[in-house]
Amino acid sequence: MPDPSAIVIVIVILVAVLVMVPLIVIAVRKVRQATASRAGSGAGRGGPTGPAGAGAPARPAMVPGALAPAAIVTGPTAPAAKTVLDYVDERTIVLDVDDTDRDAVIRRLAGLMSATGRVLDEDAVVRAALDRELISTTGIGEGIAIPHAKCDGATEPVLAFARSQAGVDWNSLDEAPAHLIFMIAVPEAAAGTEHLKVLAQLSRSLMKPSFRASIEMAATPAEVLEALASSVRPAAPAPLA
């Protein structure tokens, strides 16, 4: 006959097992539920525990003491600064003009401007340019003249260019004939801003011997525009090694 004390021990063990197993199962379920709950919460926030949505990358964990990345602020993009290239095109360029008279060249260039639609009163532009010559010559020397007209015969700033092989008597400061002639026309309202910007850009370009040589040798109006573009646009930065 089995020892009664041994039977009692076996019963106690069985009862303990029957009681502990359900408790262990319940505890495991609770742990799993808590883990699933945290994972779902992290996914909803798009935090490090999971992506914010299907295919979305998780946010990188923050290092204690590190600064949070700055927010990217977007807004209206500032318009690009204008250059002389915005005021001249192939229609306003004439190479190797036959005119040797200053006034005739001015009229020729005003006619080219009129063809662009930016000059509505060609005669008014011619008068304004000739009146400016009475104040002081626009023949700056070195074979260059920059006549300019400020009047409302022009609706927008416009630039024209003529090249003369023979040269034009422009009453220049150095008394040399003008071979490279840039004419500017601007409406009165833009005279204090665009007029000066165009003059400044042209002056900087014409100071470069390489630019002058390029437009002297240009075979087409397109080549004149290429020379202008190379002169007024900054060179692209060299690639890093």
- Write out pLDDT tens, residues 75-114: 565 566 778 899 999 999 999 999 999 999 999 999 999 9
- Residue 50: inside a domain: no
| Mean of pLDDT values over 158-167 | 96
Report whether pLDDT(158) > 80: yes
- Residue 57: inside a domain: no
Long-range contacts (CB closer than 8 Å, 24 or more residues apart) made by 196-204: 197/82, 198/84, 198/87, 198/157, 198/159, 199/146, 199/148, 201/83, 201/84, 201/232, 202/84, 202/146, 202/159, 203/146, 204/231, 204/232
pTM of the model: 0.64
Contact assessment for residue 197 and residue 87, using Cβ atoms and an 8 Å cutoff:
no
Most confident region among 36-40, 225-229, 234-238 by mean pLDDT = 225-229
Report whether pLDDT(200) > 90: no
Boundaries of domain holding 105: 84-232
- Residue 78: inside a domain: no
Report whether pLDDT(178) > 90: yes
Least confident of 32-41, 168-177, 178-187, 196-205: 32-41
Q: Which amino acid is at 139?
A: G
Higher pLDDT, 3 or 82: 82
Q: What is the total count of domains within the chain?
A: 1
- Residue 239: inside a domain: no
Q: How confident is the model at residue 169 (pLDDT cuts 50, 70, 90)?
A: very high
Q: How confident is the model at residue 52 (pLDDT cuts 50, 70, 90)?
A: very low
pLDDT of residue 76: 60
- Residue 51: inside a domain: no
Q: How confident is the model at residue 22 (pLDDT cuts 50, 70, 90)?
A: very low
pLDDT of residue 194: 66
Q: How confident is the model at residue 19 (pLDDT cuts 50, 70, 90)?
A: very low
Q: How confident is the model at residue 238 (pLDDT cuts 50, 70, 90)?
A: very low
Q: How confident is the model at residue 2 (pLDDT cuts 50, 70, 90)?
A: very low
Which segments of 81-161 does DSSP mark as H helices, in order?
102-115, 122-135
Report whether pLDDT(45) > 70: no
β-strand pairing of 139-141 with 144-145: antiparallel
- Residue 142: inside a domain: yes
Higher pLDDT, 63 or 135: 135
- Residue 162: inside a domain: yes
179 is a catalytic site residue = no
- Catalytic member of 102, 148, 150, 179: 148
- Residue 10: inside a domain: no
Q: What is the CATH number of the domain that holds 88?
A: 3.40.930.10
